[in-house]
Amino acid sequence: MAVLPALAQAGDTRLQRLDSLDAGRAWQAVGRLDIGGIGFCTGTLIAPDLVLTAAHCLYDKTTKMRIDPTRVEFLAGWRNGRASAYRQVRRAVVHPDYVFDSDVSPDRVRRDLALLQLQHPIRNTTVIPFDTATRPATGDEVGVVSYARDRSEAPSLQEVCGVMARQQGILVMSCDVDFGSSGAPIFSFEGAAPRIVSVVSAKAEVRGDRVALGTELGEPLALLRAIMKAGRGYGLPPAPGTRRVVVGGARRDTGAKFIRPGG
C-alpha cells in the first residue's frame, strides 16, 4: 500500500457555522439524526423519503446491538431548536457485510453505509434532496456539512478540504470532523450543484494529524438501493456476532491510526 501523502492542506477553509436561515438555506436537506435518545449523527436526504448516513450510527455502542430504526428521527435542517421537517424512520438498510465492532478498522469503514426510509416523504420545497456522484480523485477538493458535539444545534460548513488518498474503498480526507459528524455528507462542488461523494465514518490520525475517513459510495450505495427497492430491511435483523476484525498485511494498511467513530 502506498504511503499517505504529506498532510499539507494549505487551501483548507475553516468551519463556518450555519446559524442563520440565509446561511443554511442551501443545506436544508442535511439534518441531525436523533438516535433513540442515546446520541445523534448527521444524515442527508438523497430522495424525498431516503436519508444517507453511516451504518454504525444504528448501533448502541454499549450493548453493540442494532437500534430499532423506528426510534430514529430525522430533523431536516435542524438549527437552534427548529427543523424544516421532522420525520420518523420507517426502516433501515445497512451494508450486508458490515460488522459493528468497538474497534474501527478498514473493513468497517469501507462498508460503513446505511439508507433510512422515512415514514413519510419530505415534500417541502425548501428541503431539496442532494444527488450523489462518482468517487473523487486524490488531490480533489471537497467540502463537508456536519453536526458535532460542540455544534449540535446548528450545522457547520467546511467549504474546502482535500482528498489525501483513496485506499481499498476508503477516502482519507483533511476535513474537520468530530463526534456527531458520523454520516455527514462529503460534497463535490464541481458542476452546477453540490453532490455527495462520501459520508464520514470516523476520524483518525496520520502521523499525528487528524483526518476524516469515509467510504467510497459507488458499489456500496448501489447495493443498498437495490436492497431497499426489493422491499427488504423492514426493521433490522438480529445483529451479527461482534467478532473482532483483524487488521494486518500490506493490502489493508491505510497508514492511519484509527481513533473512534465520528458519531
What pLDDT is attached to residue 191? 84
pLDDT at residue 140 tops 70: yes
Asked whether residue 73 carries a pLDDT value surpassing 70, the answer given is yes
- The reported pLDDT for the residue numbered 263 is 57
Distance in angstroms (rounded) separating the CA atoms of residues 28 and 257: 34
**Per mean pLDDT, which range of 65-74, 98-107, 214-223 is the poorest?**
98-107
Instruction: Choose the weakest-confidence range: 7-16, 125-134, 202-211, 249-258.
Output: 249-258
Q: How far is CA 18 from the centre of its chain?
A: 18
- The pTM of the full predicted model, rounded to 2 decimals, is 0.86
pLDDT in tens, 164-189: 999 888 999 999 998 889 999 999 99
Topology given in CATH for the domain delimited by 16-233+252-261 = Thrombin, subunit H (2.40.10)
Distance CA 262, CA 206 (A): 16
Q: Record the cell numbers describing residue 114, joined without a space.
A: 446505511
Task: Indicate the pLDDT class of residue 259, thresholds 50, 70 and 90.
Answer: low
CA atoms within 13 A on the CB side of 216: 17
Whether the CB-CB separation of 77 and 120 falls below 8 Å is answered with no
Give the pLDDT of residue 20: 87
When the pLDDT of each residue in the chain is averaged and rounded to a whole number, the result is 85
The DSSP output letter for 149 is T
Give residue-wise pLDDT tens across range 20-63: 888 889 999 999 999 988 899 999 999 999 999 999 999 988 88
Could you tell me which residue, 170 or 235, shows the higher pLDDT?
Answer: 170
Looking at residue 102, its pLDDT comes to 62
pLDDT the model gives residue 50? 98
pLDDT for the residue numbered 121? 97
The domain segmentation of the chain, as residue ranges, is 16-233+252-261
Residue 83 CA to residue 43 CA, distance in Å, equals 13
101-120: pLDDT as tens digits: 767 788 899 999 999 999 99
State yes or no: pLDDT of 241 exceeds 50: no
Position 2 pLDDT exceeds 80: no
Q: Letter for the amino acid at 114?
A: A
* Helix (H) or strand (E) run with residue 55 in it: none
* Res 253: pLDDT: 43
Q: What is the pLDDT of residue 36?
A: 83
